[in-house]
């Protein structure tokens, strides 16, 4: 054998019969001494064991034999060098395979092992075979581990031990033995075959890149070990991790062919770290729109700051998705609420700012603001420490002046508040298992179309979904389950809120919400609330109930359609108005409540399903449609369905207009309401003025402001029985409460009429 070819590469040195001028007594480098014409070397043409061979007399302490040609070393390739040797006279030396490592530019690569194991020649004429394997990877059986830097070798052997002996050497054989380590047909390559060390100290990034480049679409195996990657690394091939990698926090591992959470967990050896690394790539690599968690559950002992994980950007507007997994909050002090009290001043002329905030540096962004005149779900959106100011998510309705506020920063499993703007982000099929330890999700400060779909928000400590700015613009919450951590408590003792918004155009659809203090506090307008089921009851008889939906703007341009409103009510207020008295702005209007199921059980008669709570004077209703709903009370009647909460102010009924309340059904409700409302009135004795009271039937205790129809149901007669055909006239807003109509006839009459009255002006 005098030649081996591996993928077109000539590995085998020439036979000795071809001349000794290519065989060096030094390192084999160009210009080194050869054995051609040397006194201690000769070609033997007819040895009885070897045929043609080299006879060499050992004259140096280290007698070298090196082929001067370059035997190529490819990444991932392992070469075995074999020689057969026998002693023929004199002292008996030792023999070993050896080679000189050559790098780019034909320079020597220092620091690598260049000798194989030694074998003692113990008797004359005995054929001894010596061999050694050269390769990049530190694999079992590899004698000379060279890494990636050497690209060729001057192969040969060494004679060591005593001088004065002679040996004969058969032609050297160089073979590709890569298949010993991984079969040619296997569909993967190992990073160790490309020089990766895996000691957690050596930077193996170059070896990883080489393995990826050589894989040609095959899978890359990161075998057992810990591999330091000192810079960004992108794999264009699939990767399988038996070992793990470690990287600086600001560097990214991009897996283009298997971008999913289990692979990142395997890569970094930790679920949470793997998730964080994958999220960083999600926001930095355009080839993947989503991170599939593949159903994995991540144990979390503190808030995940998503922007902090991404680190290199605080705005983003390309659709990104996290899907199909679970986050589980485990007990930790990291979830403890930060509570700070601080004096500050509020001026209605600057409605979204607190000034003169004492100790402002210690008040965290994202904290809930509480104090006198502060509406529900007002948060610290931003702060300026040097100016001692804070920006709020919504105005305060009655807080002008200086007072001490309380700031409470809840801790969230997923916290996006570090993003100045984030749009088109989606959470899909994800469970946020809060366990009463953590809140669930804080939205970015700004942005639009944040979409939460088919998710479970389970047992949040304080909040489900929180908006501290306008990152809720156009938010979509679809087909989610919100399960409270406070289900055993009385309704009035619950404090958790499933979600809030500050901006417009929320779409909240097909959700199920169980026993929160409130389902949603909606601070924007243009919301669509459809086909949700929220229930907030408890086990108390004559129990108190809280609002399910809270609308905090007076003119809401909002619809509530086909919802199941169970043991809670809709509350409509203007508590986010810095100047709550009505001036020239629109008042309570733009609300459509149609096709809903309202039910309640075990409550006192004073419970109401629809409550308007003005926090300023002279407001009125200027556009409300309550139609086609079903109201049903179980285990006792309630008085009526509607109510004005006059804690701060009442409504101006004299300005009501465009109110429609019709087509509703009432069960277990003592007093029904409608607008327009048609009632039947009878007089058995002749009267010239009929007093027609609409008390109770008019929505929200309003006035009988208009009469739109008077219809005689039978013959109207005078006191003598004569038929009266003259038309009466109506006087509206009569009586102490202005809820009666006086029907005046030309003469005293008796009979039965139907009167249709309105609580409003129709336009």
DSSP code per residue over 416-450: -TT-SEE-SEEEEEEEEE-TTTSEEEE--SS-B--
Angle (CA) 570 574 580, round 5°: 155
pLDDT at 4 over 90: no
Whether residue 377 contacts residue 521, with contact meaning beta carbons closer than 8 Å, is answered with: yes
CA distance 513 to 548: 9
CA distance 506 to 90: 97
DSSP code per residue over 247-314: --TT--EEESS--BHHHHHHHHTSHHHHHHHHHHHHTT-TT-SEEE-TT-EEEESS-EEHHHHH-S-S
Beta strand pairing status for 128-135 and 79-89? antiparallel
CA distance 703 to 690: 18
**Residue in this structure with the two tokens 């590709």, named with its chain if needed:** 176
Angle (CA) 5 180 205, round 5°: 90
Q: How far is CA 205 from CA 112, 281, 553, in A?
A: 19, 17, 57
pLDDT at 3 over 70: no
713-730 average pLDDT score: 94
Whether residue 261 contacts residue 325, with contact meaning beta carbons closer than 8 Å, is answered with: yes
CA distance 95 to 115: 10
What per-residue confidence (pLDDT) applies to 762? 75
Backbone angles phi, psi at 558, to 5 degrees: -135, 150
What per-residue confidence (pLDDT) applies to 184? 45
Q: Pick the residue with more confidence: 763 or 451?
A: 451
pLDDT at 6 over 60: no
CA distance 283 to 285: 6
What per-residue confidence (pLDDT) applies to 180? 76
Half-sphere exposure of residue 109: CA atoms within 13 angstroms, side-chain side: 22
Condensed to tens digits (0 to 9), the pLDDT of residues 68-86 reads: 999 999 887 899 999 999 9
465-488 average pLDDT score: 98
Q: How far is CA 350 from CA 341, 390, 578, in A?
A: 22, 11, 9
Backbone angles phi, psi at 282, to 5 degrees: -55, -40
Q: What is the mean pLDDT of the chain?
A: 95
Where does the pLDDT of residue 8 fall: very low under 50, low under 70, confident under 90, or very high at 90 and above?
low
Condensed to tens digits (0 to 9), the pLDDT of residues 565-604 reads: 999 999 999 999 999 999 989 999 999 999 999 999 999 9
Where does the pLDDT of residue 7 fall: very low under 50, low under 70, confident under 90, or very high at 90 and above?
low
DSSP code per residue over 138-176: --TT-SEE--SS--EEEEEEEEES-SS-EEEEPPPEEEE
Helix, strand and coil percent figures for the chain, each rounded to 5:
10, 45, 50
Whether residue 554 contacts residue 619, with contact meaning beta carbons closer than 8 Å, is answered with: yes
DSSP code per residue over 631-697: EEEESS-BS-SEEE--SS--B-GGG-BSEEEES-EEESBSS---BSEEEEEEEEEEEEEEEEE-TTT
pTM summary value: 0.83
635-656 average pLDDT score: 96
703-723 average pLDDT score: 95
Condensed to tens digits (0 to 9), the pLDDT of residues 179-231 reads: 777 654 467 889 998 999 999 999 999 999 999 998 888 899 999 999 999 99
Helix (H, G, I), strand (E, B) or coil at 2: coil
CA distance 58 to 50: 19
Across 694-735, where does the E strand assignment appear? 706-712, 729-734
Condensed to tens digits (0 to 9), the pLDDT of residues 606-631 reads: 999 999 999 999 999 999 999 999 99
3-state secondary structure 463-522: EEEECCCCCCECCEEECCEEECCCCCCCHHHCCCEEEEECCCCCEEECCEEECCCEEEEE
What six digits make up the tokens of 304?
Answer: 């995940």
CA distance 631 to 617: 30
Helix (H, G, I), strand (E, B) or coil at 411: coil
CB burial readout 347-373, b (16+ within 10 A) else e? eeeebebbbebeebeebbbbbbbebeb
Where does the pLDDT of residue 654 fall: very low under 50, low under 70, confident under 90, or very high at 90 and above?
very high
User: Residue 449's closest CA among 522, 502, 524, 506?
Assistant: 506
Where does the pLDDT of residue 5 fall: very low under 50, low under 70, confident under 90, or very high at 90 and above?
very low
Q: Number of helices and strands (H, E) in the chain?
A: 5, 65
What per-residue confidence (pLDDT) applies to 723? 95
Condensed to tens digits (0 to 9), the pLDDT of residues 324-382 reads: 999 999 999 999 999 999 999 999 999 999 999 999 999 999 999 999 999 999 999 99
Q: Give the lowest-confidence range in 159-173, 205-219, 660-674.
A: 205-219
Where does the pLDDT of residue 2 fall: very low under 50, low under 70, confident under 90, or very high at 90 and above?
very low
């Amino acid at each position: 054998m005098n030649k081996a070819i591996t993928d077109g590469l000539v590995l085998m040195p020439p036979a000795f019969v071809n001349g000794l001028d290519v065989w060096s007594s030094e390192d084999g480098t160009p210009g080194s001494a050869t054995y051609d014409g040397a006194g201690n070397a000769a070609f033997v043409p007819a040895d009885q064991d070897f045929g043609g061979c080299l006879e060499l007399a050992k004259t140096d302490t280290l007698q070298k034999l090196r082929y001067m040609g370059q035997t190529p070393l490819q990444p991932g390739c392992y070469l075995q060098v074999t020689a057969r040797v026998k002693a023929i006279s004199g002292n008996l030396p030792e023999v070993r395979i050896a080679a000189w490592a050559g790098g780019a530019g034909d320079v020597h690569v220092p620091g690598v092992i260049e000798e194989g194991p030694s074998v003692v020649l113990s008797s004359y004429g005995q054929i001894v075979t010596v061999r050694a394997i050269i390769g990049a990877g530190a694999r079992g059986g590899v004698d000379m581990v060279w890494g990636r830097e050497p690209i060729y070798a001057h192969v040969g052997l060494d004679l060591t031990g005593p001088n004065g002996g002679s040996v004969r050497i058969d032609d050297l054989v160089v073979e590709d033995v890569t298949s010993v380590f991984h079969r040619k047909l296997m569909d993967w390559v190992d990073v160790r075959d490309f020089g990766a060390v895996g000691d957690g100290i050596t930077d193996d990034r170059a070896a990883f890149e080489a393995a990826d480049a050589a894989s040609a679409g095959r899978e890359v195996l990161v075998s057992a070990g810990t591999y330091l990657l000192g810079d960004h690394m992108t794999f264009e091939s699939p990767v399988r991790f038996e070992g793990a990698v470690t990287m600086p926090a600001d560097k990214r591992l991009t897996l283009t062919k298997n971008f999913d959470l289990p692979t990142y967990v395997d890569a970094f050896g930790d679920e949470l770290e793997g998730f964080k690394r994958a999220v960083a790539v999600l926001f930095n690599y355009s080839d993947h729109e989503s991170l599939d968690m593949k159903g994995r559950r991540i144990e979390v002992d503190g808030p995940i700051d998503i922007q902090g994980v991404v680190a290199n950007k605080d705005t983003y507007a390309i659709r990104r998705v996290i899907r199909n997994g679970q986050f589980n909050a485990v007990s930790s002090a990291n979830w403890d609420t930060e509570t700070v009290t601080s004096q500050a001043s509020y001026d209605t002329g600057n409605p979204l700012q607190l000034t003169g905030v004492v100790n402002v540096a210690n008040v965290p962004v994202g904290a809930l603001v509480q104090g006198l005149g502060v509406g529900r779900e007002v948060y610290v959106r931003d702060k300026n420490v040097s100016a001692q100011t804070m920006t709020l998510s919504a105005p305060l309705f009655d807080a002008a002046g200086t007072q001490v506020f309380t700031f409470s920063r809840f801790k969230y499993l997923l916290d996006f508040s570090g993003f100045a703007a984030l749009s088109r982000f989606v959470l899909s099929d994800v469970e946020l298992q809060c366990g009463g330890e953590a809140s669930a999700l804080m939205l970015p400060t700004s942005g639009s179309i944040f979409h939460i779909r088919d998710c479970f928000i389970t047992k949040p400590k304080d909040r489900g979904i929180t908006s501290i700015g306008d990152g809720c613009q156009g938010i979509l919450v679809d087909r989610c389950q919100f399960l409270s951590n406070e289900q055993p408590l009385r309704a009035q003792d619950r404090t958790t809120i499933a979600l809030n918004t500050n901006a417009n155009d929320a779409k909240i659809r097909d959700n199920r919400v169980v026993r929160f203090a409130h389902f949603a506090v909606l601070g924007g307008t243009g919301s669509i609330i459809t086909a949700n089921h929220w229930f907030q009851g408890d086990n108390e008889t004559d129990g108190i109930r809280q609002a399910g939906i809270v609308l905090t703007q007076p003119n809401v341009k909002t619809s509530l359609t086909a919802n199941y409103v169970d043991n809670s009510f809709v509350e409509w207020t203007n508590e986010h108005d810095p100047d709550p008295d009505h001036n020239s702005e629109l008042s309570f209007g733009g609300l459509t409540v149609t096709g809903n199921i309202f039910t309640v059980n075990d409550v006192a008669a004073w419970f109401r399903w629809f409550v308007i709570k003005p926090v300023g004077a002279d407001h009125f209703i200027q556009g409300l449609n309550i139609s086609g709903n079903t109201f049903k009370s179980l285990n006792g009647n309630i008085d009526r369905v509607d109510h004005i909460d006059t804690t701060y102010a009442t409504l101006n009924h004299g300005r009501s207009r465009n109110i429609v309340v019709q087509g509703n059904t009432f069960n277990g409700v003592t007093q029904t309401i409608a607008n327009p409302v048609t009632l039947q009135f009878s007089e058995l004795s002749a009267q010239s003025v009929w007093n027609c009271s609409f008390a109770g039937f008019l929505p929200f205790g309003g006035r009988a402001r208009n009469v739109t129809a008077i219809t005689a149901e039978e013959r109207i007669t005078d006191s003598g029985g004569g038929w009266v055909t003259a038309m009466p006239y109506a006087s509206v807003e009569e009586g102490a409460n202005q809820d009666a109509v006086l029907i005046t006839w030309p003469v005293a009459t008796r009979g039965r009429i139907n009167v249709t009255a309105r609580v409003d002006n129709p336009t």
